Amino acid sequence: MFPLSAIIRLCVALRIHPNALTAIGVVINVAAAWALGLGWFKTGGGIIIVANIFDFIDGKVARELQEATKFGGFFDSVMDRFSDISLFVGLIYLYAEKGRTDYVIVTALAMMFSIMTSYTRARAESLITKCKVGFLERPERIVLFMIGAFTNRMAAAMWVILVLSIFTVTDRIYFTWRELNGGIKVEDELEHRLAEIRLSTPRRAGHR
Amino acid sequence: MKRLLTLPALVLWKTFFWTYERATWQYDLLVLAILAFIWLTPPGWLKDPTATGPGLIGLIERLLGVN
């Protein structure tokens, strides 16, 4: 994409350290959280886009500058959590200001399960090779924040983040348990039963 | 009958315990369902403290004179 590749080339030419780009992304996300906290959703949505440009380019700049390190990956992941949490805190502040404890709870739970989504994968991958299951990962979460902000439907977006994060965390716990125990996959069992039923069902005359 | 019970169970299981990658039809279908929920649900149903406008279902309700 032209504008992004131009930004990447500029950062490479200026030899901006990728970790600095990551840190700038967090600061911009805090600004987005501030805007959300004040109820300026469209401004917040716009700032989230800018913040995520930094999040998108830091890895690419690191590779271009041949400065991709394990610490860089670790730092990026940790800063992503700060960015995510700050957006949720902005919304919690907004709902608290409006006296809406119900949405304070919904947003706080969405934040809790969003953090657990990342934690379960990180912890699982210290025990098993890969744990990339579940629908709601960070890109989906950020897009939901943007949709909620730009279309003024943040409450619905929070419900979606909460419910799908609960599923994702549960999925990761189940997947890790299954991988560690070598147990039978429930979906394999269901598919096997479906295949058995198909085979045992007599075909109607004339039915091909 | 057994098949009727097994197929929804499989669909539900695969929806809850998601293993599909992005850019698969299953992923696109869930994205459509999410967008429909966000944009079509009237904010009043969720008691949204910040939303403006009735949403598409709310508009249809108004046109039909429901509530």
Quick check: A1 pLDDT over 70?
Answer: no
Total domain count, chain B: 1
Question: Rounded CA gap, A35 and A89, in Å?
Answer: 11
Q: What is the model's pLDDT at position A208?
A: 43
Predicted TM-score (pTM) above 0.95: no
Question: Rounded CA gap, B31 and B40, in Å?
Answer: 14
Name the region of A203 (left: φ>0; alpha: ψ -120 to 50; beta: rest): beta
CB contact under 8 Å between B17 and A168, yes or no, is: no
Give me the percent of chain A exceeding a pLDDT of 90: 75
Question: Rounded CA gap, A172 and A69, in Å?
Answer: 27
CATH among 1.20.120.1760, 1.20.1250.20, 3.50.50.60, 3.40.605.10 for A2-200: 1.20.120.1760
Question: Rounded CA gap, A48 and A55, in Å?
Answer: 10
Q: What is the model's pLDDT at position A183?
A: 60
Q: What is the model's pLDDT at position B20?
A: 92
Measured in angstroms, the CA of B67 and the nearest CA of chain A are apart by 22
Quick check: A89 pLDDT over 50?
Answer: yes
The domain spans of chain A are 2-200
Q: What is the pLDDT of residues A102-112, one digit of tens each?
A: 999 999 999 99
Other C-beta atoms closer than 10 Å to the C-beta of B66 total 9
Measured in angstroms, the CA of A68 and the nearest CA of chain B are apart by 26
Give me the percent of chain A exceeding a pLDDT of 70: 91
CA A195 to chain centre: 36
Q: Nearest-CA residue of chain A relative to B37?
A: A156
Q: Which domain holds residue B10?
A: 2-64
CB contact under 8 Å between A155 and B10, yes or no, is: no
Q: What is the pLDDT of residues B9-59, one digit of tens each?
A: 888 888 888 989 988 999 999 999 999 999 988 888 899 999 877 777 777
What residues contact residue A28 under an 8 Å CB cut-off, 6+ apart?
A47, A50, A51, A54
CB-CB neighbors (< 8 A) of B30 in chain A: 135
Q: Nearest-CA residue of chain B relative to A193?
A: B6
Residue A63 vs residues A11, A18, A39, A105, A154: alpha-carbon distances, Å: 12, 9, 38, 41, 36
Q: What is the pLDDT of residues A135-165, one digit of tens each?
A: 999 999 999 999 999 999 999 999 999 999 9
CB-CB neighbors (< 8 A) of B52 in chain A: 152
CB contact under 8 Å between B38 and A160, yes or no, is: yes
